[in-house]
Structure 1
Amino acid sequence: MKPSFNAAAISGASLQQFRSVTDPLADQVVKAIIDSGQEKQINQILMTLVRNNSFAPGMFASLGEEISKSLDDYIAESGKLPLWADQTMIKKAERLFELYGPNIFMLLNVSSLPMCYCCGNGAQVLFDTGRLLASPDGSVDPLARRLMETGQMIINVLSKGGLSEHGTGVVTLQKVRLIHASIRFFVKQSPRVWDATTLGEPINQEDLAGTLMSFGPVILTGLKRLGVKLDDTETSAWMHTWSIVGKLLGLDDSLLPDTHQQGFQLATEVLKHQAATSDAGRALTASCVKFMNRMIPGNAFDDVPVYLMWYFLQDFSKSSGKDLATMIGIEETADIRDKLVLAIANFVNTAISREDDHDRFVCKIIATFNKVLLQGMIYHVNGGKGVQFVIPPSLQANWGLVETWKDQATTPGILGYRISLQKKSEIINN
């Protein structure tokens, strides 16, 4: 049975202690590799992990018996589901993902990630890895790669069977956990001196807990904002599933809430303790906005990401007593909604009005925005960009994203044959 979450034990002081705690299981594997003098092999190991959807004993035998055994032991231990994992509840969470996947992906970009960027110390390690920032020439491929990896992790975890024994989600989390350990090592070895006294250890337990909450209660709070009505069983199933994810990522049991309310409280306490204006948080937010705008053709939706970030941060700004949007450079302007009404009027099926309140306005534009964003991500990233973003066919069908082809032009008959020029259709059944 899962240890009960003790909300009363969560405070700034207790969270501060977790800033010096990381993940001994994964860290000791990376340390063993470094101590063996095979530091340069870490990238090879990570690439081997990324390229394989399953693990087999001895797959690292070429690195020597000691390192191979260390990795085999890690894979065996880190792949164990907690004894309290409930597959019935996991299936309910998978069903929620089937129903609301596009909303969840949108919330990842405009709510979950911005909340993480609000935590200045945690944002610094994201900034220092250099993987979330667009390159100086305007390319967003590094950012696309990182966001796609996060998106793929969510798909692998929440697709059917992802969190079963040896499931795709479990394997993905094992990889992520070892990548975290590698990042810790390399960040502390970089030319920039990592100030652990001020920043805490890279990817420490508090930062991991805050990130986990951005996938748990932050998503649930966002869905509620969108008018999705979930009962207690559904929200409990969602939180239970993400607690399993936290456990598989090496998070301490005391940082795994049981309910939406407990998760909301933990997220709030992390924000009270860590939310602060930072150059890293602002830069990451600007890159995230740029990424979304690049994914969506044209410019009609260019102001939507900023508006949605401001909108979805309001609940946690209120609970934490901090203006989170301002901390990451997001400002609400008086006329932004009026600009959006005019700009996107031709893209939505439902009439919108300047007089709509924020809740009604967001609900009206969100379905169209979600779909064009997801389709843009699929076509941009899989279109020769060096990253694969795979959504199972069943989910593509549920979300209206099935790739189909339609005739654009057909030649006259030539010896009884006709040639049709076809183009990918971005809309199912088109």
Structure 2
Amino acid sequence: MKLDLDQHRKTGDQPADDFVNDYFLDQQKKLKLDLALKNLIKNSDWSSFILEIPEAAWFDKTFNDLNFIQPQIRTKALQFYNKKSAYILQLLGLLSLPYCYAAADGAKVLYQTERMYKDVAKRLEETGLFVAEMMNPKAFEAEGSGKIQLFKVRLMHAAARFYIQKGNWDMKLGLPVNQEDMAGTNLSFSLIVIRGLRKMGFVINQDEQMSYIKYWSWIGAMLGLNPTLLPQNGKEAHDLEIAINQRQFKASAEGTQLTQSLLKCFYSLNDEKQIKNVEIAGFMRFLLGNPVSNILDLPKANFPVSKQILLKLKVSVV
């Protein structure tokens, strides 16, 4: 893949941004949109939504112009997820989110949205629901909500760009929710999850890895990512991740605060039956590795070797 990450850092999602600017700058149109979105729950609601908000037809064009992911690729990705869903959903909070917090400039955007540290449990729930729906075999049927969720996430990103730029945002950091940051987030759901599963002891073959990465690249395309930022295999995903990591991963007050809020959320939700609260940071450090953990100022707690062994024994029989 040919990368121009400097340019991608200045770029958002033009169709979504134009739509948001059109509706958000007119209070009456925004109220109309808000009401229509509340009634947009399932894919079958889309036709009624378009009648009320015809300008949203740009998303239909995206959805139709970008061919649906090859059925065999999606089937393999969904089978992979189904076999490991409980672990994957855990990794979204323990690995994927803190991985994103290590990108300092992107973390500033997440911090400004406030919900990322003031309503962490809700954010975790929403992330889990989004992933679960993308992995639902019926997600894109009439009674599913796959198309609707993709549209709403894309709209949420455009809304963040709209509002954050109205503040005192420093454009030297790049456009808020830019292409590079969105690409890093997409990798956190695919390549980084696969790495986490392997760290836990799962054996994942190349066919499984390729299918999962390709499916998430298709999801990324639906969310407005540039084709050059959509890896089609493990090597392309690895190369993109390294390029973003080297450019963006560094310590920041926002990344540290987001991580501390995440830990506090885990402490409040954990029943301490399988893992003690004092071991959670150690488990995250085990998954993330020391370089990223140190960027996030994670406590230097150990994840006991005995539990690492038990974890690997447990997943070996899954």
> What TM-score does the superposition give when structure 1 sets the normalisation length?
0.67
Superposition pairs for residues 193-212 of structure 1, below 5 Å? 193-197=168-172, 199-212=173-186
Match of 2:250 among 273, 276, 284: 276
Q: Residue type matched to 2:220 in 1?
A: G
> What's 2:224 paired with?
250
| Structure 1: runs of 5 or more not aligned | 1-5, 63-67, 135-141, 318-322, 339-353, 368-398, 400-430
| Aligned: 1:69 with 2:54 | yes
TM-aligned CA distance change 1:120 to 1:252, over 3 Å = same
TM-aligned CA distance change 1:262 to 1:154, over 3 Å = same
Asked whether the 8 Å contact 2:43–2:142 carries over to 1, the reply is no
TM-aligned CA distance change 1:281 to 1:30, over 3 Å = same
Q: Residue type matched to 1:107 in 2?
A: L
Asked whether the 8 Å contact 1:120–1:280 carries over to 2, the reply is yes
Superposition pairs for residues 157-306 of structure 1, below 5 Å? 157-163=134-140, 167-190=144-167, 193-197=168-172, 199-298=173-272, 301-306=276-281
TM-aligned CA distance change 1:211 to 1:165, over 3 Å = farther
> What's 2:74 paired with?
90
Q: Secondary structure at the match of 2:115?
A: coil
1:81 deviates by 6.7
**Higher deviation after alignment, 289-298 or 86-95:** 289-298
Q: How many residues align?
A: 315
- RMSD of the TM alignment (CA)? 2.6
Match of 2:38 among 47, 51, 61: 47
> What's 2:14 paired with?
24
Asked whether the 8 Å contact 1:111–1:313 carries over to 2, the reply is yes
1:35 deviates by 4.2
> What's 1:108 paired with?
92
Calculate percent identity across the aligned residue pairs: 26
| Structure 2: runs of 5 or more not aligned | none
Asked whether the 8 Å contact 2:36–2:49 carries over to 1, the reply is no
Q: Residue type matched to 1:309 in 2?
A: M
- Offset from partner CA, 1:54-103 (integer Å, 9 cap, x none): 433343666xxxxx2212x1342243372262111101111111100011
Asked whether the 8 Å contact 2:110–2:116 carries over to 1, the reply is yes
Q: Residue type matched to 2:299 in 1?
A: E
1:187 deviates by 1.7
- Offset from partner CA, 1:290-348 (integer Å, 9 cap, x none): 1222222258520232112111112xx6xxxxx21111111324xx345xxxxxxxxxx
**Higher deviation after alignment, 166-175 or 266-275:** 166-175
1:168 deviates by 2.5
* Larger relative helix fraction: 2
Partners of 2:194 and 2:84 lie apart in 1 by 11
Q: Residue type matched to 1:156 in 2?
A: E
- Offset from partner CA, 1:364-415 (integer Å, 9 cap, x none): 5889xxxxxxxxxxxxxxxxxxxxxxxxxxxxxxx9xxxxxxxxxxxxxxxx
> What's 1:374 paired with?
none
TM-aligned CA distance change 1:231 to 1:359, over 3 Å = same
- Offset from partner CA, 1:131-181 (integer Å, 9 cap, x none): 1113xxxxxxx2121111111110000111325689522221111101111
Asked whether the 8 Å contact 1:107–1:219 carries over to 2, the reply is yes
Match of 1:56 among 36, 42, 46: 46
Asked whether the 8 Å contact 1:220–1:260 carries over to 2, the reply is no
| Aligned: 1:308 with 2:283 | yes
Partners of 1:125 and 1:265 lie apart in 2 by 24
Partners of 1:153 and 1:180 lie apart in 2 by 14
Larger radius of gyration: 1
Point out which structure has higher relative CO (alpha carbons under 8 A, 6+ apart). Answer: 2
Asked whether the 8 Å contact 2:104–2:249 carries over to 1, the reply is yes
| Aligned: 1:147 with 2:132 | no
TM-aligned CA distance change 1:85 to 1:61, over 3 Å = closer
Q: Residue type matched to 1:224 in 2?
A: R
Partners of 2:49 and 2:142 lie apart in 1 by 19
Asked whether the 8 Å contact 1:81–1:165 carries over to 2, the reply is no
| Aligned: 1:328 with 2:302 | no
